[in-house]
Amino acid sequence: MPDFLHVLPPAPVLFGQLLIGLINGSFYAMLSLGLAVIFGLLNIVNFAHGAQYMLGALCAYVLLTAFGIGYWPALVIAPVVVAASGIALERILLRHLYQVNHLYGMLLTFGVALVVEGLARQQFSASGNSYATPATLTSAWNLGFMFLPVYRAWVIGGSLAICLLTWFMIERTRLGAQLRAATENPLLTRAFGINVPRLVTVTYGFGVGLAALAGVMAAPVYQVNPQMGSDIIIVVFAVVVIGGMGSIMGAIVSGFGLGIAEGLTKVFYPQASTTVVFIIMAVVLLVRPNGLFGNMAAAQQGHATGGEALVKARTPVARRALLLAALVAGLLAPFAVYPLFLMKVLCFALFASAFNLLLGYGGLLSFGHAAYFGGASYVTAYCVKLLGFDPVLGIVAGVLGAGALGTVCGYLAIRRQGIYFSMITLALAQMVYFLAVQAPFTNNDEGIQGVPRGTLFGLVNLNDPLAMYYFVFACFAIGSLVVYRAINSPFGNVLRSIRENEARATSLGYFTERYKLLAFVLSTMIAGLAGSLDALVFQLASLTNVHWTMSGHAVLMTILGGVGTISGPLVGAFIVAGMENYLAHLGSWVTVIHGGIFIVCVMVFRRGIVGETAQLVLAWSKASRPPVDVGRFRRRFQ
């Protein structure tokens, strides 16, 4: 027997994993297909796609357990029901966002996803509910080299058929032709008498239905549980980045391909099976930044992130007075409120400011800041507890670690713009999360506990809550100062111009990606500072800090407080930390509330609390003056 055969795993293992890979790939393909169809016409990344997939599965489960309706009827009923909810969502909410920056659509659907997942967790056990394989498909075929369960064959064959059917419909039928025309040029298509808004609604409903259908098909394969959607959607985002959303076939091929790649990795190098898709994504970004099937048209950038409030205390005197007031309030605060709570607020606020530096002043929406926050907290906890670093050195190590990670991730992410940037940051952060789950030093679910706070410069014992508070406050002040200075620096000026109009900044001779990278690294280091402090304050570094929900927190705090405002993140942090502390007994309802806040902010409150307040003050002070001449802005299309 030739030697290399020993390296190969036994055939049943190989084919078994390949089969699992194909099954996963089937769902990736169906979901990324739906995402691509929706994105093509609506220009919105449907973050709720995972939640809608989960709803499909849950719906089938409820149909069975509560009404005794079996798999086959559910295969029709569940997608229709979920698609109807999607149509309602499009009609009531999404519709109003087509004229604003595409990032808002992503934020809104993220909020919807949180609401749906939170509600589902409230109703159904998180551990999973099994859904029996339909009786007609329980047998298995003997293929000679392995047994093929009929249900699995059906999933692969069925989803492949559905994908191809969708492709055929879009590329080869009249309806598809209308759809493609509307994608290319909605105005012109409208002029031809095609009802584009209805087409948009139908398309969204179709994409959502496809997700729900995948959910029903997945129900007997996986456990039906509320987080099955968020588990899969991030991988699907990576798939979409790899395939490029411009091509229907691209979505299908990369979905199945990556499923197979995952399966093969499980055979040959199981440790990497959860991260392999993200690694492939990183490689693709390096060699083919527009994705394997991406075309330039689809990769073109969106317009500048509008909507940020341009708020700034106008006079230096007012600014100084505000700063002084904040300082005094910060120094006196621990005598009025629990220091531990205040420290949490400060950590969160610093974290949100880091995020705000990127979004508010660079127009870059990172959905992966948990990686730097949580990564730094692990580094600091490890250095302080196991290597005996003193707290300051521990923090420095954490900040540098976050910066190093930020440099790598930033380098990859800035190769794409707009919503792609957001998806890449999210996917890379998920990879960091999986690494944290696997790495031995993070102790998995337990985390690094009992991190000593130590003594500051060998003098001040930080176990004293007040001393610790003032230490955190000083770090917060330094971090905020760095952010403030960066915003109001020559660099900040260029960064803002890139946010406003990247093409124009390029035509002025700026290598814009270098500025974006610097902003990204700065932001990750500040996020790292926040994470390091968090580890010392709570004497713990855990998976919570690297989980995507933590990234969501950064977005939430900033949007709520006010994107592009200096004090917005602090205000947002107060509210979010407060909710976490005082509403903890409500369980999953907190997630629902977070989602609700996202929806409200995106729909009616885009400037956030600080921004809207400043706007009111501004309107009030301007009331006596005549309105500004907004000019004759006639935009030419084409």
Ligand X SMILES: Nc1ncnc2c1ncn2[C@@H]1O[C@H](COP(=O)(O)OP(=O)(O)OP(=O)(O)O)[C@@H](O)[C@H]1O
Query: Which one, 84 or 187, has the nearer CB to other proteins?
Result: 187
Of residues 285, 289, 293, 218, the one with CA closest to residue 254: 293
43's torsion region: left (phi>0), alpha (psi -120 to 50) or beta? left
Given ligand X, other proteins, none, residue 518, with its beta carbon under 5 to 8 Å by kind, binds other proteins
Interactions with other proteins, residue window 454-493 (CB under 8 A): 482, 485-486, 488-493
User: How many residues contact other proteins, by CB under 8 A?
Assistant: 45
Q: Which stretch binds other proteins (CB under 8 A): 160-168, 190-198, 302-310, 601-609?
A: 302-310
Given other proteins, ligand X, none, residue 501, with its beta carbon under 5 to 8 Å by kind, binds other proteins
Q: Are strands 140-142 and 147-149 parallel, antiparallel or unpaired?
A: antiparallel
- Phi–psi pair at 231, nearest 5 degrees: -60, -45
Of residues 152, 212, 214, the one with CA closest to residue 23: 152
Query: Which one, 5 or 296, has the nearer CB to ligand X?
Result: 296
Interactions with ligand X, residue window 290-329 (CB under 6 A): 296-297
Q: Which of 76, 165, 310, 478 binds other proteins (CB under 8 A)?
A: 310
Amino acid (one-letter) located at 216: V
| Sign of the alpha-carbon torsion through 166, 171, 174, 176 | positive
503 binds other proteins (CB under 8 A): yes
Work out the number of other CB atoms within 10 angstroms of the CB of residue 156: 18
- Rounded to a whole number of angstroms, the distance between the first and last alpha carbons of the chain is 66
Of residues 247, 267, 16, 20, the one with CA closest to residue 156: 20
634 binds ligand X (CB under 6 A): no
Query: Which one, 271 or 489, has the nearer CB to other proteins?
Result: 489
Query: Which one, 76 or 187, has the nearer CB to ligand X?
Result: 187
User: How many residues contact ligand X, by CB under 6 A?
Assistant: 3
Given ligand X, other proteins, none, residue 485, with its beta carbon under 5 to 8 Å by kind, binds other proteins
Secondary structure, 3-state, 420-450: HHHHHHHHHHHHHHHHHHHCHHHCCCCCEEC
Element (DSSP H or E) covering residue 141 = strand 140-142
Given other proteins, ligand X, none, residue 503, with its beta carbon under 5 to 8 Å by kind, binds other proteins
Query: Which one, 114 or 521, has the nearer CB to other proteins?
Result: 521
Beta carbons of 564 and 309 less than 8 angstroms apart: yes
Query: Which one, 16 or 186, has the nearer CB to ligand X?
Result: 186
- Burial class of residue 4, CB neighbours in 10 A (0-12, 13-18, 19+): exposed
Query: Which one, 417 or 545, has the nearer CB to ligand X?
Result: 417
Given ligand X, other proteins, none, residue 314, with its beta carbon under 5 to 8 Å by kind, binds none
Query: Which one, 74 or 498, has the nearer CB to other proteins?
Result: 498
Given other proteins, ligand X, none, residue 507, with its beta carbon under 5 to 8 Å by kind, binds other proteins
Residue 237 CA to residue 548 CA, distance in Å, equals: 13
Q: Which of 191, 386, 508, 583 binds other proteins (CB under 8 A)?
A: 508
Q: Retrieve residue 206's tokens.
A: 């179709």
Binding site for other proteins (CB under 8 A): 295-297, 304, 306, 308, 310, 482, 485-486, 488-494, 496-497, 500-501, 503-512, 514-515, 518, 522, 628-636, 638
Binding site for ligand X (CB under 6 A): 296-297, 638
